Amino acid sequence: MEFFVDENDRVDGVDKVTGKAKYFAEYQLPGLTYGVLVTSTITKGKITAIDTKAAKNAPGVLEVLSHLNKPSVAGYEQAGGSPMKIFYTDQIFFNGQPIAIVVADTFERATFAASLVKVSYEKAAFNTNFEASIKDAAVKKLQGQPPYVRGIADAYKTAEVKVEQIYTMPVETHNPMELHGIIADWQANDKVTVYAKTQGVKSTQNTIANVFKIPAENIQVNSQFVGGGFGMALRTWPLEIAAIMASKQLKKPVKLVITRDQMFTMVGNRPAAYQKIGLGATKDGKITGITHTAFGQTATYENFTEGVVNMSKFMYDSENVNTNYYVIPLDMGVPIWMRGPGEATGAFALESAIDEMAHALDMDPLDFRAKNDPEKDPAQNRPFSSKYIKEAYKLGAAKIGWNNRKNKPGSTIEGSWNIGYGVSIGVFNAGRGRASVKGILKADGTLILQSATSDIGPGTGTGMTLIASKLMNIPVEKIVFELGDSSLPPAPSQGGSATLSTVGSAVNDVCVALKATIAELAANSNMDATSNFVDVLKKNNLPIIEKTIQSSQNNPEAKNYSMYSFSIHFVQVKVHQLTGVVKVSKIVSVGDAGKIVSPKTARSQMVGGAVGGIGMALTEEAILDNRYGRYVNNNFADYHVPVNADVPDIDVIFIDKPDPIVNPMGAKGMGEIALIGFAGAVANAVFNATGKRIRSLPITPDKVLEG
Amino acid sequence: MINFQFVRTSVVKTALSLIGKDPKAAFIAGGTNLVDLMKRGVIAPEKLIDINHLPLKQIELKNNILHIGALVSNSALAENALVKEKFPLLMLALQAGASAQLRNVATVGGNMMQRTRCGYFYDTTMPCNKRQPGSGCGAIGGYNRMHAIFGTSESCIAVHPSDMCVGLAALDAQVVIAGAKGERKINFVDFHRLAGTTPEKDNNLQKGELILRVEIPANNLNKNFHYLKVRDRTSYAFALVSVAAALEIKDGLIANARLAMGGVAHKPWRLTASEVFLRGKPATLANCEEAAKLAMKDAKGFGENDFKLKLAPNTIIEALTIAKSKA
Amino acid sequence: MAEIDNNQSGDTRRDFLKKTSLFTALSLTPLTVLKAADNKVDERFAELFEKIPLNLKVNNKPYTLKVEPRVTLLDLLREQLHLTGTKKGCDYGQCGACTIHIDGVRVNSCLSLAVMNEGKSITTIEGLAKGDELHPMQAAFIKHDGFQCGYCTPGQIMSAVACVREGHANSKDEIREYMSGNICRCGAYPNIVDAIQEVKEGGKAI
């Protein structure tokens, strides 16, 4: 079947360009009140007193809640669980921890009153210093993933040619443009509606049900538009519970929108990483050993791990591979997956080391990669469901003009600028979960599809509409895909590049079922099997027919295959000889993510990943002063996400061949692979331009100058 | 933010009278820094005097001196035909600052009055002698990558964040100030101060005074000039180091040289010794390098900003190279 | 608030309260409030009565309001006028999500106190289209997919319209520089540049 060739606009485009799209903070509820958080100014210790008198006396203030006067929350009364039960502890686990909420009739009054709350503490010694902790034997390290060994451990050490290097990167913050928060509005003692910023309305519903011990069906979660997430809205954060508590206590709707500086502390981050890669190869360029040891960070009060070392296990054909991954608990807010999560961290290290090895061997890094490309997944010893990486190499190399690249670093100079080229691979699991979709065919010719999934930006509704449109032969403008509402049929959270695969499969299945029903009705009413559904419904006097289908998690064949999406990023950089400024001047990203369902939004995903990759490579670093445990650049002026002028034209190429195993559409996710590997490509290009190998992200002018 | 009083006036004399009577009052013009600081609790004036309606928005050439009203917006100044023609260095400096939106609102006077962007100054829970005299300097021994290498003191190593001011310092501008006792005029380079033992004072404007205008004397620096700003991203970021460079080249020799730097000191940093060195010499790379070297005398790093000891002279050389290469 | 064009003012907060027309309001309130207003400790009570008249036009609609001086134009639009198309991204002038036009000039509304805009004419994203007919920039953003999550989009579009009107859209690089005050975390920049270039080259007066 010929799927998806249309260059369709986003189904919610008009809403977004006219300002009609409503994000969580934009719902007008009668009697709305405003919450503002008070946060800890110490990093570790205990609250000894909270003086709220001045705040309570301030105009318009309705309530000041803290652990001293919080309402009873059934789920928090029980022992166990995370120690960070908001307002149920006097302990401070990190600087900037929410410790009280002030509610007033206006935002300005709540903000002012919050500044009047005086908190006394008993301070304790703390540790936020990631890099020092790695070398400090006294600091606890937790195994983040079981050690992995294939063949001989540390085989690289005895190889003919070896590379052994350390790669580091700092904390990054998701910082979606929309500030986090929630509106909570209790209708009864056991019934609440929330307007949330979430990547999973069902997940938010479940968390609230567990905390407040009320039936899930009594909790309505609305989240139709989400102003970006990149992973930070994959869980319900304590601050959201605080607002829900306050609303329950006041019996009024409470809106809480946190500040940009609070976005650095209380809604997760991409943890810092310290990685050691050992690579061994024969003189003719065959990899004989890969050792990848990684340290990440976690919190003291909750544990966080991610797939930093995953890629090293299967991306290259090596008999000998061993990995180890540790996390160090620090007195900081707990991290959470950020776009391309641990894999992006790992890819920077591995793909830098691969480039270093190619250089050591005096090989073209593409040839070196191609030579070590495995036919099947060496970790699982099974075939890939689909993989066209060598084709991707060729397409990308042609597009960027790879033949202009000289293997000897520093060979190409234009005026005050050195020119260099770099390449890197990205890979991410092509996951597929289980989701339900309700399809409603109406006699007026429209199709309504409903699922409690989310759209944080990729264009979920657009993709689903296109799938249904092709299957049902209904024009897109006659299809409405409803999402972001917990009362709809359940779907998993939007994360791990799995929405299209998961929810798309269910859309596929529900469309197939609707078509079967129409065919059956047509047959029963002596109509042609190919009759238009409108005619069939009319003939049968049916205003609508509806089906709800829960799609299976997998094709039964899937267990025999390894399923991944792949990307290859090519970049050209210019490095200024005197100032060390790096400009990414050309980008070609090739996506090998199966069949492309929605070409326009898919391209945008890849473009967005490259832009995020520029940030990771060149500009992004959340800087914490370890003496105080506080961030010193917690704002958009000093934490540099890329701006328009940082980004050149970006060419996106899709292999666009269906994966026969993963799902009926043959389409795999691409949100993660758009970013994974990109930073490595930039670092490799900087090396090619200058001969300077920067192993510590971000590659700022100072590092280039001193490198 | 405290709910301050708000008054508005269109008469300079009234503005001066209002500010003179009220020690907790402040002028507000564009507000792009003031409102930001108030939101973060760094400052909390109890009364704001809106001076946007004062008649200080003219740009005019009088007796070969460009008069720029204190309330001229950064974008209006950058787009002004006289500035483009006669003082293009200033145009480049203005365009290097902030964003189009901010430049539309930020005024000349407000830009001069903007506070440092040091993270310790902005975080009211951390030590900062500028915000709270006597509390210590967080940046010394802390995060000081963005900080000063010239004219620092034990109490403060913050930098002045303006680009416009670097251009004005290079152009020998003067500042006309009004106070209760009348008007006075000072050299632009004397407007801002070094931190010394009183980092809470950014400049020499006295309590109760108001900036009326900036004056730039005519020059021949509109041919060979450049403003080079090195930053962590291509736009919308504060300088690691910036250099305003302008040369008047006559018969192959430098007749007049102007050099000033941003991002390196508590005030726009004029490189007088380098200028003197360049005068009368050909604009060769070697002379540019020597000028850059001279500029670095007495520079001192604080750890994370040590790279500026290399970046600063390199940026001077590059700015001079671009300036002298202009046809 | 008073428009002060002579030398009479400079009163303290309490004097101010007693003298101004707000006194009328005070006379109707309980004695305790008056006392509180007079009492330095609880001077905050005074704030209840310190709203300032403000007249402005938003999207050609006139508004007569009373607002606290500390209310920003952004919060006025979003929380009081319920024009939520204008977004709060940072609240410190560092992201551009709140970009609007004041008398035709693009501005970050988060750093503008509402009361500074007396008599001004404001245009927000809601005022850009003519009824159901999208502004060419809005249409170009859809065509070029100049957004993903859509949160920075109103600010980008308001900024983009101004960028063209200012004459700063003459090349891709110029657009990039003059649009750098609008951060897009989804990374739609190349598509935004394409959209602006198309509108600019379309040559229509926008």
CA neighbor of A265 nearest in space, from A66, A99, A81: A99
- The pairing of strands B5-8 and A45-51 is unpaired
Which chain B residues are within 8 Å of A638, Cβ to Cβ?
Answer: 117, 119, 146, 238
Which DSSP string do the residues of A53-111 spell out, in sequence order?
HHHHHSTTEEEEEETTTPPP-HHHHSS-S-S--TTS--EE-STT-EEEEEEESSHHHHH
Q: Does A583 touch chain B (CB under 8 A)?
A: yes
Contact (CB, 8 A) for C163 and C128: no
C-alpha A63/C-alpha A110 separation (Å) is 10
pLDDT per position as a tens digit, A324-364: 999 999 999 999 999 999 999 999 999 999 999 999 999 99
Instruction: Calculate the average pLDDT of chain B.
Output: 97
CA C122 distance to own-chain centroid: 7
Domain formed by C136-202, architecture: Orthogonal Bundle (1.10)
Residue C46 confidence (pLDDT): 53
Contact (CB, 8 A) for A508 and A464: no
Residues 6+ apart with CB under 8 A from A135: none
CA A382 distance to own-chain centroid: 28
Cβ-Cβ pairs closer than 8 A, A with C, add up to: 191
CB atoms within 10 A of CB A416: 15
The CATH 3.30.390.50 domain(s) of chain B lie at 224-325
Domain boundaries, chain C: 13-49, 52-124, 136-202
Q: What mean pLDDT is predicted for residues B179-206? A: 97
Mutation for testing the A interface, residue in C151, C174, C182 having most A CBs under 10 Å: C151
Which tokens go with B181?
A: 């006792």
C-alpha A339/C-alpha A669 separation (Å) is 12
Alpha-carbon distances, residue A10 vs A483, A484, A538 (angstroms): 15, 16, 31
- Kind plus residue range of the DSSP H or E element containing B269: strand B269-270
Q: Does A96 touch chain B (CB under 8 A)?
A: no
C-alpha B19/C-alpha B115 separation (Å) is 19
Q: Does domain B224-325 match CATH 3.30.310.50?
A: no
Alpha-carbon distances, residue C199 vs C144, C165, C182 (angstroms): 11, 11, 18
Which CATH number applies to A433-553?
A: 3.30.365.10
Place of tokens 């079981």: A146
Domain formed by C52-124, architecture: Roll (3.10)
**Residues of A noted as catalytic:** 672
Share of residues in chain A with pLDDT > 70 (%): 99
Residue A438 pLDDT > 90 = yes
ipTM reported for the complex, 2 dp = 0.97
Instruction: Calculate the average pLDDT of chain A.
Output: 96
CA neighbor of B47 nearest in space, from C8, C43, A59, C11: C11
Amino acid, single-letter form, for residue B209: E
Homologous superfamily of the A24-124+176-259 domain (CATH): Aldehyde oxidase/xanthine dehydrogenase, a/b hammerhead (3.90.1170.50)
Q: Does domain B5-52 match CATH 3.30.43.10?
A: yes
C-alpha C112/C-alpha B106 separation (Å) is 11
C-alpha A289/C-alpha C125 separation (Å) is 57
pLDDT per position as a tens digit, B208-257: 999 999 999 999 999 999 999 999 999 999 999 999 999 999 999 999 99
- Kind plus residue range of the DSSP H or E element containing B240: strand B239-250
- Kind plus residue range of the DSSP H or E element containing A582: strand A582-592
Strand-by-strand arrangement of the A564-576 sheet: A412-414, A417-429, A564-576, A582-592, A650-654
Which chain A residues are within 8 Å of C101, Cβ to Cβ?
Answer: none
Residue C155 confidence (pLDDT): 98
Torsion angle of C-alpha atoms A642, A645, A646, A650, degrees rounded to 10:
110
pLDDT per position as a tens digit, B8-21: 999 999 999 999 99
Amino acid, single-letter form, for residue B90: L
CB atoms within 10 A of CB A367: 14
The CATH 3.30.43.10 domain(s) of chain B lie at 5-52
Which chain C residues are within 8 Å of A23, Cβ to Cβ?
Answer: 84, 87, 151
A24-124+176-259 matches A273-431+559-706 in fold: no
- Kind plus residue range of the DSSP H or E element containing A567: strand A564-576
Is the pTM of the predicted complex or chain greater than 0.90?
yes
Mutation for testing the B interface, residue in C74, C180, C183, C184 having most B CBs under 10 Å: C180
> Considering only alpha carbons, which residue of chain C is nearest residue A255?
C79
Which chain A residues are within 8 Å of B230, Cβ to Cβ?
Answer: 579, 581, 701
Running DSSP on this structure, what letter comes out for residue B204? S
Which tokens go with B10?
A: 């269109």
Q: Does C188 touch chain A (CB under 8 A)?
A: yes
Give the nearest partner residue to B7 out of C2, C72, C178, using CB atoms: C2
Contact (CB, 8 A) for C70 and C123: no
Amino acid, single-letter form, for residue A174: H
- The most distant pair of C-alpha atoms in chain B lies apart, rounded to whole Å, by 62
Domain boundaries, chain A: 24-124+176-259, 273-431+559-706, 433-553
pLDDT per position as a tens digit, A533-572: 999 999 999 999 999 999 988 889 999 999 999 999 999 9
At A209 the three-state DSSP class reads: helix
Which tokens go with B216?
A: 């730039």
C-alpha A489/C-alpha A451 separation (Å) is 5
Residues 6+ apart with CB under 8 A from B48: B4, B5, B6, B7, B25, B26, B27, B28, B34, C69, C113
C-alpha A19/C-alpha C124 separation (Å) is 9
Which chain A residues are within 8 Å of C176, Cβ to Cβ?
Answer: 644-645, 647
CA neighbor of A588 nearest in space, from A329, A354, A392: A392
pLDDT per position as a tens digit, A249-299: 999 999 999 999 999 999 999 999 999 999 999 999 999 999 999 999 999
C-alpha B42/C-alpha A108 separation (Å) is 16
Fold of A273-431+559-706: Aldehyde Oxidoreductase; domain 4 (3.30.365)
Give the nearest partner residue to C186 out of A14, A112, A457, using CB atoms: A457
Cβ-in-10-Å burial (0-12, 13-18, 19+) of C3 comes to exposed
- The pairing of strands A650-654 and A630-631 is unpaired
Instruction: Tell me the pLDDT of chain C (206 aa) as tens digits.
Output: 445 544 334 444 444 444 443 433 333 333 444 444 444 444 445 554 589 999 999 999 999 999 999 999 999 999 999 999 999 999 999 999 999 999 999 999 999 999 999 999 999 999 999 999 999 999 999 999 999 999 999 999 999 999 999 999 999 999 999 999 999 999 999 999 999 999 999 988 88
Residues 6+ apart with CB under 8 A from C167: none
CA neighbor of C50 nearest in space, from A329, B47, A508, A553: B47
- The angle at the Cα of B12, spanning B8 to B18, to the nearest 5 degrees, equals 55
Contact (CB, 8 A) for B270 and B263: no
CA neighbor of A564 nearest in space, from A270, A233, A343, A393: A343
Give the nearest partner residue to C108 out of B1, B21, B101, using CB atoms: B101
Residue C25 confidence (pLDDT): 39
C-alpha A249/C-alpha B243 separation (Å) is 58
Count how many Cα atoms sit within 13 Å of the Cα of residue A273 in the half-sphere of its side chain. 36
C-alpha A569/C-alpha A606 separation (Å) is 10
C-alpha C7/C-alpha B9 separation (Å) is 10
CA neighbor of C69 nearest in space, from A104, B211, A105, A112: A112
- Kind plus residue range of the DSSP H or E element containing A341: helix A341-361
